[in-house]
Amino acid sequence: MLHPPHQSLQVTAIPSQRAPARDQAGPWHSEAVCRRDEAGLFFAPSKEPTAARLAREEAAKRVCARCPVMVECREHALLQPEPYGVWGGLTAAERRVVLARRRRRELELSNLAGTAQTDSRIAAAG
């Protein structure tokens, strides 16, 4: 959803999906299904009870699931990073988990690359 109010959300992780090829011109958000839905579904009112929050987030995720630009929306929210709301089928807490996993994976890959360089230098030195 675009232009979030300043409140936060929580919970689980949903696997990423591959972005479909897009031939359409214009910004991705012009095709977002959430543009036709109430923004309140995607952003928490203050002091929302947990059960109400979870139900609202699940309803927002169902809207996201049928959106043709869900992957673009998710990537936007991860790259910004958007601190509030349901974006691309993920809550703010779920996006934090995805970002932490990405950082950890990038660190692992850079460590592997560094180890490979060290091994090749040792082998070259004989």
Q: For the chain, how are helix, strand and coil distributed in percent, rounded to 5?
A: 55, 0, 40
Average pLDDT over residues 8-16: 38
**Residue-wise pLDDT tens digits, 62-82:** 999 999 999 999 999 999 989
**Residue-wise pLDDT tens digits, 28-69:** 888 999 888 677 899 998 899 999 999 999 999 999 999 999
Res. 116 pLDDT band, cuts 50 70 90: low
What pLDDT does 113 receive?
77
What pLDDT does 35 receive?
86
- The residue with tokens 């699940």 is 58
